[in-house]
Amino acid sequence: MTDSAPDLLPGSLPLPPADAPITTLFTDVGGVLLTNGWDRKARRLACDTFHLDYEDIDERHHLSFDTYEEGKLTLDQYLDQVIFHAPRSFSHADFRTFMYAQSQPYPDMIALVKAVKQLNQLRLVVVSNEGRELTTHRVEQFGLREFVDAFIFSSFVHFRKPDADIYRLALDVSQESPTQSLYIDDRPLFVQIANSLGIRSFVHSGLESTRTKFAAYGLKVPPAV
């Protein structure tokens, strides 16, 4: 946590002590539970596969993708702006299928989070920047509803990290105090923002380091296999 008082909404209840037991785990998805949905590596592979100009596609992507992740474009509208602004020999459906196929799970990390949730009787809330169609595919494909209690996706709530309001919303939805929450993300900036709100947070860099950090925060963890 930071030394300054967390930036909470007016009228918030008094915070429990900083060492209060953690009762809610907030987690990112891409880079933690699953691969990223549509990152630079995937876009470059798409350009190689479909014989596209990477520089053109990348520039158009950066001008459009935040709007898609905020839920203000459909996936087909994003593709119209980024891919199908010129005649192509393939269809929207062909390209969507390719995009969806880039998502893969991190089974060991999913198993660890499931176990930590069960062992500690935690609520589990996803806080993630994801476009709606990619979100729907990933939630269904990888069974996230089986163990996640609530989903705060940028495309559902219409703002995205690093906007602090997405973390405030997650706290409101879970009815949790910052000091009884723990947030994990692979992006240091997003961890910094959560910390500024008084949410205990750390950067996920790998399975074993995260296992160690869970234990350091007083959570029961399963033995390493």
Per DSSP (E only), the strands in 77-214 are 123-128, 150-153, 181-185, 200-203
Helix orientation angle between 132-141 and 75-82, rounded to the nearest 10 degrees: 120
pLDDT in tens, 52-87: 999 999 999 999 999 999 999 999 999 999 999 999
Count of alpha carbons within 13 Å of 48, Cβ hemisphere only? Answer: 6
Asked if 82 and 115 sit in the same domain, the reply is: no
Round to whole Å and give the CA distance between 99 and 61.
14
Whether 160 maps to a domain, the answer reads yes
pLDDT in tens, 97-127: 999 999 999 999 999 999 999 999 999 999 9
3-state SS, residue 202: strand
Q: The domain containing residue 205 runs over which residues?
A: 24-35+105-216
Q: What are phi and psi of 105, to 5 degrees?
A: -85, 160
pLDDT in tens, 22-61: 999 999 999 999 999 999 999 999 999 999 999 999 999 9
| Per-residue confidence (pLDDT) for residue 11, from 0 to 100 | 41
pTM score: 0.89
Whether 11 maps to a domain, the answer reads no
> By the 8 A CB rule, do 170 and 152 touch?
yes
Asked if 83 and 132 sit in the same domain, the reply is: no
